[in-house]
Structure 1
Amino acid sequence: MNNVKGYISKKKEGTSLYEELHLEALEIIQKLSSEVWTDFNEHDPGVTILESIVYTITELAHKTLSPIQDILIKSRGQELHSGDNGFFVASDILTTGPITFYDYRKIWIDQISNVKNVWIYPIEDCPGEVDNIKGLLRVFIGKFKYKSDPQEESDDNKRIIQEILTTYNTNRNLCEDIYNIEIYKPLRLAMGLNIKLSNSVNGEEILAKVFNQVNDYMVSNVNYYSLWELQRKDTPINKIFNGPNLLDGFILDEDLKDPLEEIVISDVMKIITQIPGIVSVNDFYFQYKDPDTGDMIQIRDRFKVPKNTRVIATFPKSDKEIVFENSNTFFQPDLNETKKQFSLIRALSYGGFKEASSSLNKISIPPGNHLDMTSYFPIRKQLPELYGIGDRGISGQATDLRKAQVKQLQAYLMPFDQLMVNFLTQLSNIHTLYDVNDNNHASYFTKELPDTEELIDLIKPVNGEYELTKWKETLNDINNRFDNKALKRLSEVANHLLSRFNETFQTYALRKINSSSYGEVLMNEEFDKKLLTSKRQLVREYASISYGRARSFNYHQPEEGEKNQFIPGILRKLAILMDIDDFKIKSLIKGFEDSEIEIHPVTLNIEVVIDAINISQEDLEIIKIEDVTIDEVIKDDLYKVMHYMGDKETLLQDTLKYGVIADNYEIKKSEKEDLYYIFYKKANQEANIVHLSKTQEEAVTAIQKAVAYLVNINQKSEGFFMIEHLLLLPPYKEAYFGFQIDFSLLPSIGLNLKLTHKVWAPCQERNETITTFVNQLLLGQLQYSVIHKKDNYSLEISSSGEDGQEGEVLMVSENQYTSEEALNKDIELLKGLNTVVDEEQLGTIIKCYVNYAAGKAPIDESFFSFQASFIAPSWPVRFQNENFKTMFKNTVYEQFPIHIKYGIYWLDYEDLKTFETSYFKWLEQLSSKSEEDTQKDLAYELITILQKLIEQQDET
């Protein structure tokens, strides 16, 4: 606060922390010991000790009030980085990967050279396209410069398109993909200009500014802003960093203009008149050469910009069309000088537009000072030398009583000093408490006194030696005894960090699910440690998870190896929230197979065929056999095996579910022989003998091994897959797309007719066919032909031809007519439809399909629009738990983008094995794109699996 008095106010007596503590302590002492202690003056030894303790506490409080960066940097031992202790810089935690069209436009403009502006449209919003597949995008690019050499222009266009694709695939959103990329063609316009200039201006410089402003009118520059510029405008930090990380500063959404659709000469003239130094515009026009006739065409009013065209004001080759008026004189500019000025303006514009270095656009972490937080001056050394407990000690001539009193006082003060040192140690370990990269499970910290060696006589046993290391162990043991709730405290710290991001862990629900799934095997401290690790992982990865929360994987360049693969942020977060360990896109079947578990039939000597599970585990195998009388052959096997009973269909799931519960096992000693039988019982079934041991210790060990191994198998089998339906589409530019129109769905028109495409076609061509059919049907321009084959008649519909030529065949009827009269009747109804239906009604009866191969059923394109499927194994014990399934479903609902429809399907071992076989082969083909037919066949296999799962779920 500013001192308006102009002088420093005198501190009032009793307002300092030292004075407050001292007065409060004296008041307490007087209340507690007034009957035996009456002298509370400064010369009293008790008051002297009190003053030293209060002073020490005041010093500790002063260190506690140090700036947090000083405390953390001392605690960490090195400089601070973004993410330390769950604290991230704004550029890491507030930014997101590209989500909106504005975001994609920004990263393309920022990262790809010679791209002046980019426009993105959903395929259904583009002329000639059909509203059938959601998530496909069309991209249009306007360039800075167009090459005059055709080959150079072609090479530059290929480069830009490839870089657009590469950048997009690295940042692709879930269930979206690029349909087409098109670079606007240039239309060069020559300017005619007659302007009046004010005195004392440079005509060539003015003309350069005119060219610059007019070109910006055609396609405006996208400006970059530095952090300090936006802060000076009082732009909130969360708005500044809202969007993707850019290399050269910040781009505002409002600067991303739509493409110019029409040139209005009066608007251009207004822009020119605003340039300082121009008095008036006497005449202005554009002219260009017609590509068909070669004639020069002038634009003096309005000009509709041709589709997918970038208009450019070209630099004049001659000064004949440029006239300046100044002081009633007329002259032409020096074009060479104008070109220099224009180049300078463009260079400055481009430089300012790229001048905002990324290093200057980040909010840095306060550096902090390396203060010595742990330095401590013991209380006993603060007291007067007369006490004999300081560095100089007591006189050698002192009596034994006096020496004993000194030792007593040292021993009395030692706990006080230890408490102070413990406090400073706790303060210096605050980074450890909040360290999400550490597996530390301690919440209290201790350290020996700095002068412990001088106090060795107080802590060593009588007539014995004592080492300092032993004292350290003693202190740690005492500390650990008080730190018995460390996991709870550390979990609360993690909860605090998560709350900063408005995140919570369903701790209670997960605890209940684990308890009912594993019994006491993974409960209590083990469960708390596991959950704490998951919480810390979420905090540690929160910046990358939030940045890529809507981002999917790059199927064009999949990362090599499990360690390097990119997991979409939403899937990583989902796995952490569900406490799924080491989540990766990997084969869950392989993990089970690598466990050396085998499921197979076994024939016993009693000629009973049963199913068996074999699990190799050191000297113990786990095997399931029939519950029969134990003869000598089986008895020999039971010394080294565990056997579980069950039906073949449920054997795996039952063993993993009930075999991990220690309470399901019971050890009984045989009365006839010195053997120990292990009985195993699962729900609602009688107990069977699963193992024989010669000692009770061996039986206990066998149970522990079996339970631990089955727990490990359960955890390794946990995981899930997420497949985006859009990626199962065949190449858009190949002939796999068709459609059908069913007029029977509009009963009011009385036309029971189904029309289908003539041939399968590329997606865009098919969509254009639909658009042509609908437009010409409503305009009454279609041509109808009757096709007679054998005894049947069918309908063929063509578009209207140009200049008397026959049109293109658009559709044929699926209906077969027995008479020409019946067909002609439907033709007449078709011709009159333009008076009874509109475009919207026709859109409701059009169905688009994808054809994967002859003989395979076409797939309705609605299957691919913003849809995804989650596939998970049904056999891990937690995944069998209905509460876990509900929790998984709710978590997906909370985290998954609201516009994407999804299904969750739980597959048994054999079904998941079938899915994985097709999935990983398809994924490999998708990335390599080497065998289109193989990829298409594998995609169809997956579609068939998913459709079956969807159908089964709908039935239930």
Structure 2
Amino acid sequence: MSNVNQHISIPKNVSSNDDMSFDFLRKKGIEYIESLGSQFWTDYNTHDPGITILEVLCYAITDLGMRINLPIEDLLSNNSNPIDEQFFTASQILPVQAVTAFDYRKILIDINPQKIKNCWLQKATKKLFVNCKEGKISLKKEDFNDTLPTFIKETEIRGYYTILVDFDEEDPAKKKLLKNQIIEKFHENRNLCEDLLEVQEVDIHPIAVCALIEIDPEANEEFIHATITLELEKYLSPGIRYYSLAEMFEKGYTSDAIFEGPFLENGFIDTQELENSALKTEVRLSDIMQIIMNVKGVTVIKDISLNNCEAIEKEGSVWNICVPPNKKPSLCQKSTLNFSKGVLPVMVNKTKARQYLADLKEDLAYAQKKASQNKELKIPQGKITETDYYTSVTNNFPENYGIGEVGLSESASVERKAKAKQLKGYLLFFDQILASYFKHLSNIKELLSIHNELPNTYFTQKISDMTGFEEIVNQKYQSSSQKKLDEFLFSHLDDAVKRQNQIKDHLIARFAERFAEYAFLMKSLYGASSDEIVLQNKSDFLINYDTISGQRASGFNYFNQPVSNLWNTFNVTGLENRIAGLLGIKGDKNPATGKRGIQRKDISNLFVQLYDPSPGMAPDLFRWRIRNSTNKIILTATEDYESQSTAIKEMYLSILKIYETSEKEIVLAFETLFENRDNGIAFKDTVINTFEVIESDSHKYSFHIINPELVNDLDNPDRIIARQYKLHQTLEAVKTAMLDLLTFFKEEFSDEGIFLIEHILLVPNPNEAIDQKYYMPICVDDCSDDCCIPNPYSFKISVVLPGYTYRFADVDFRNFAENVIRQEIPSHILGKICWIGYRKDQIVPKDNDLLDFEKDFKNFLTDKTQDKQTALPKFINSLTKLNSIYPTGTLYNCTDEEENISGKIVLGRTNLGTI
């Protein structure tokens, strides 16, 4: 039967059985009415006012359903927050820093595709000799000439590379410049525990191809000569072609495959083609014949020979030539291509042929340039829609109800008007619910954004277009701002921090990450205030996820760096940034990117200062104070302590109490104070959760931190635990100071940090390594097994963290942190974790491992970038003497059933840590 004559009809059943179907909603509504009130309500016909109300509400719900089902780009588009700024672009989130050999080849060719035809990475090693008798190592075997050979073992330091480059450049000066650019590019993208030994130009293995070729009578012999020459060059030493984004899609690649690896400046490289462009190990005559025959205009090869250039006269033609390793075959000057048309020989104008060859190469270069355009996947641009626009359901009722825009006539009775108002008041309940849903929908773009800064998660809006609205609601509702209205209706329901944490968990889960264990441990350390801290950690993690994920295995750039880019710098390994993100180690704001990141800096003197208030006088007493980023004292102890540990414990208690107070509590409390002042009510000392605002005799204001458990015990010396001694002239000023203090502790304060040391960077220059102090120590016992030769350099790192901070001194959090670090270290790298040191101003003990380590590490890096090693022995000494510190524990009393086991040591069951 012909498809043309088939009868097409509109289906009768168009119900979608969801919020888009009016009939479905009406049917469900009547079912609910029947189940709840069938004994009072039996008439469900259309003339019944109750059914009319149901139908109007169903219509409003279908409007909401329609807007919910708008394209996601429409829901996320608005003028204030463009959709382009809400998402990472494909080039930001999909690529990674160079990891594989193919990745490195791509980024090195990308430096200058016209001058760098190709390049290859080759593994390289350095020999390391081990003296198992004396427990020494050296890069020079002659250092152990006095030791019997039976005690000398040999191993290799792995992780090095040599780069072979095929240059399309003859000028030696320009080649040298390109080599320097390759070295710089490698170090900018250096992998963890890997390094570069040298960059070499590929040696040429010259071959000669001599051929007599018959071509079509109408063919251009100079053009065919240029084409054959170009194709033979591509066969012998293939260059790399760039593709545009559209061309990659045409080749069948998906977006994730296209953007896999590093993002290039000049377009996209097909990894399969790159893999096939390895250095040739042999050249076959059959391949060359096939290439020549594929050139348009060639009819037959009358004669052809292939041989090494220096052996043409001796050996004649061969079928294939073996190319030595790390060399590329290339046509030498003895190669000749002769042409004939029929039986007549054809003379080739070499100048013209060279010009054609240059034009062909220029065409290829032009095609390469086009590949660098339009490399980004476009984010769908939606239509800006007012998804929160809402009109009262009263405007949809028939006019005879008298509640719409027309209303009732002037002649209507008072009773009739009163009934209309009653119906409006009844419908206002539904109006407000629906208006709130529409408002929620409009804020989806903010709630699901990684940059969300909305203070609440429940939203509503006023009903503004109901006729006679001002006669139904009170003045408080009418005059409320949007913020006040949200608080008035939803503040008792909206646990904003908890709900935002759930949203962030959803976004993080999309990247296959999780913060569940971290959040649990933070709850045990910070109590109720942990939710807000964890929320900030999650936000920072998401905002930085492009670098946290894409650079997770990268090393830092030490090559030719100024000191400013080695210390107090964001130039750190990718693993440090990832560990810091997962452990909530607070980073600093990078002015270049506007994001937070971990810095390599002194962490022994971060914000906290311990000091003796009466130096030189017995007994030794201790106090603490905290300075902000401008070095101003913003919080200090209120008493002297007999031990440093007691002082530190009290300091952390003060910080915990500050975290327990929210900005909202302070703002609301001061609104009351301002209102009282305006009404002539005298100020009284006011407690705001853990803050207390007081007035001095000179009518100036200050505040201190109190223990809320002792808030009413005014005579208890432990009631006030910290104070900001600065006096403020007005209540507005003290409010600002309190909010600034809160912001400082939640966004800036941190006494934590992380250092990561790649052992391969500690390998000395053998020509300058005078004695053993330039080498890392080894354990003689490791020499007993022939299968395991000591090698302190290959794929080994040390992770150094301060062991004295509030979180890092907690055994449970430390165990969690060690598990995270070990899981994140690449599987081929062995990591040693050290929890070390004391603060700079901590008086006892005087031997401060952390302080010495920071100083020696900085000196070592300064020398390393200048290719010196004066500071190497001292840094190796600092690194090898590091000892993990552990918090003081108490032996658990097994006979005391009520004793809290937290912080206790159980013999045989408590692990202090592992190396």
Deviates more, 1:889-898 or 1:43-52: 43-52
Answer yes or no: is 1:351 the counterpart of 2:366. yes
Spell out, residue by residue over 1:452-506, the C-alpha distance to the aligned partner (whole angstroms, 9 max, x if none): 684112122xxxx657333756632233334333322222221111111111013
Spell out, residue by residue over 1:796-828, the C-alpha distance to the aligned partner (whole angstroms, 9 max, x if none): xxxxxxxxxxxxxxxxxxxxxxxxxxxxxxxxx
Change (3 A) 1:274 1:477: closer
Spell out, residue by residue over 1:543-574, the C-alpha distance to the aligned partner (whole angstroms, 9 max, x if none): 22222111122223366599972443332221
Aligned to 2:159: 135
Aligned to 1:104: 104
Q: For 1:595, which of 608, 613, 620 is the aligned residue?
A: 608
Q: For 2:640, which of 638, 643, 655 is the aligned residue?
A: 643
Aligned to 1:609: 619
Give the secondary-structure state (helix, strand or coil) at the position aligned to 1:597.
strand
Q: For 1:477, which of 465, 483, 487 is the aligned residue?
A: 487
Quote how far apart the aligned CAs of 1:331 are. Answer: 2.6
Aligned to 1:503: 513
Quote how far apart the aligned CAs of 1:275 are. Answer: 3.0
Give the TM-score, by structure 1 length.
Answer: 0.71
Q: Is the 8 A contact 2:458 2:494 kept in 1?
A: no
Change (3 A) 1:281 1:735: farther
Give the secondary-structure state (helix, strand or coil) at the position aligned to 1:323.
strand
Give the secondary-structure state (helix, strand or coil) at the position aligned to 2:253.
coil
- Unaligned 5+ segments in structure 1 are 147-152, 624-640, 664-691, 740-759, 762-840, 848-859
Give the secondary-structure state (helix, strand or coil) at the position aligned to 2:339.
strand
Quote how far apart the aligned CAs of 1:601 are. Answer: 7.8
Aligned to 2:387: 373
Aligned to 2:402: 388
Residue 924 of structure 1 aligns to which amino acid in structure 2?
A: T
Change (3 A) 1:466 1:644: closer
Q: Is the 8 A contact 2:394 2:466 kept in 1?
A: no
Q: Is the 8 A contact 1:411 1:458 kept in 2?
A: yes
Spell out, residue by residue over 1:910-932, the C-alpha distance to the aligned partner (whole angstroms, 9 max, x if none): 110110111122223334x1xx5
Give the secondary-structure state (helix, strand or coil) at the position aligned to 1:703.
strand
Aligned to 1:550: 553
Change (3 A) 1:885 1:471: closer
Quote how far apart the aligned CAs of 1:619 are. Answer: 10
Q: Is the 8 A contact 2:836 2:884 kept in 1?
A: no
Change (3 A) 1:233 1:264: closer
Quote how far apart the aligned CAs of 1:372 are. Answer: 2.2
Give the secondary-structure state (helix, strand or coil) at the position aligned to 1:878.
coil
In our comparison, the structure showing a higher alpha carbon Rg is 1
User: 1: CA distance between counterparts of 2:291 and 2:69?
Assistant: 59
Residue 257 of structure 2 aligns to which amino acid in structure 1?
A: K
Identical residues among aligned pairs (%): 25
Answer yes or no: is 1:170 the counterpart of 2:185. no
Output aligned runs, 1:437-836, within 5 Å: 437-451=451-465, 454-460=468-474, 468-470=478-480, 472=482, 475-507=485-517, 509-513=518-522, 515=524, 517=525, 522-524=526-528, 526-556=529-559, 557=561, 565-582=570-587, 584-589=598-603, 591-592=605-606, 594-598=607-611, 608-615=618-625, 641-646=638-643, 696=714, 699=717, 702-705=720-723, 716-731=750-765, 734-736=767-769
Q: For 1:259, which of 265, 279, 282 is the aligned residue?
A: 279
Spell out, residue by residue over 1:365-393, the C-alpha distance to the aligned partner (whole angstroms, 9 max, x if none): 11111122122221111112222222222
Q: For 1:397, which of 411, 423, 428 is the aligned residue?
A: 411
Quote how far apart the aligned CAs of 1:621 are. Answer: 8.5
Spell out, residue by residue over 1:286-319, the C-alpha distance to the aligned partner (whole angstroms, 9 max, x if none): 67876xx9999977455454665544325789xx
Give the secondary-structure state (helix, strand or coil) at the position aligned to 2:608.
coil
Q: Is the 8 A contact 1:453 1:468 kept in 2?
A: no
User: 1: CA distance between counterparts of 2:860 and 2:771?
Assistant: 24
Q: Is the 8 A contact 1:644 1:655 kept in 2?
A: no
Quote how far apart the aligned CAs of 1:603 are. Answer: 5.8
Output aligned runs, 1:857-876, within 5 Å: 862-876=791-805
Aligned to 2:60: 56
Quote how far apart the aligned CAs of 1:335 are. Answer: 2.1
Aligned to 1:273: 293
Answer yes or no: is 1:922 the counterpart of 2:855. no
User: 2: CA distance between counterparts of 1:6 and 1:730?
Assistant: 87
User: 2: CA distance between counterparts of 1:555 and 1:498?
Assistant: 32
User: 1: CA distance between counterparts of 2:358 and 2:314?
Assistant: 28
Q: Is the 8 A contact 2:635 2:723 kept in 1?
A: no
Q: Is the 8 A contact 1:105 1:118 kept in 2?
A: yes
Q: For 2:806, which of 872, 877, 895 is the aligned residue?
A: 877
User: 2: CA distance between counterparts of 1:100 and 1:200?
Assistant: 50
Change (3 A) 1:206 1:30: same
Output aligned runs, 1:398-417, within 5 Å: 398-417=412-431
User: 2: CA distance between counterparts of 1:943 and 1:596?
Assistant: 29
Quote how far apart the aligned CAs of 1:615 are. Answer: 3.1
Change (3 A) 1:491 1:344: same
Aligned to 1:206: 224
User: 1: CA distance between counterparts of 2:53 and 2:118?
Assistant: 76
Q: For 1:155, which of 173, 179, 202 is the aligned residue?
A: 173
- Unaligned 5+ segments in structure 2 are 128-138, 140-153, 588-596, 659-709, 725-737, 776-782, 839-847, 886-911
Change (3 A) 1:54 1:142: same
Q: Is the 8 A contact 1:513 1:883 kept in 2?
A: no
Give the secondary-structure state (helix, strand or coil) at the position aligned to 1:903.
strand
Change (3 A) 1:158 1:436: same
Change (3 A) 1:135 1:358: farther
Answer yes or no: is 1:335 the counterpart of 2:336. no
Change (3 A) 1:240 1:533: same
Give the TM-score, by structure 2 length.
Answer: 0.74
Aligned to 1:940: 873
Q: Is the 8 A contact 1:511 1:523 kept in 2?
A: no
Change (3 A) 1:298 1:442: farther
Aligned to 2:200: 182
Q: Is the 8 A contact 2:586 2:598 kept in 1?
A: no
Root-mean-square deviation (Å)? 4.1
Q: Is the 8 A contact 1:212 1:342 kept in 2?
A: yes
Spell out, residue by residue over 1:758-809, the C-alpha distance to the aligned partner (whole angstroms, 9 max, x if none): xx99xxxxxxxxxxxxxxxxxxxxxxxxxxxxxxxxxxxxxxxxxxxxxxxx
User: 1: CA distance between counterparts of 2:185 and 2:52?
Assistant: 72
User: 2: CA distance between counterparts of 1:88 and 1:267?
Assistant: 47
Change (3 A) 1:349 1:510: same
Quote how far apart the aligned CAs of 1:21 are. Answer: 0.9
Give the secondary-structure state (helix, strand or coil) at the position aligned to 1:615.
strand
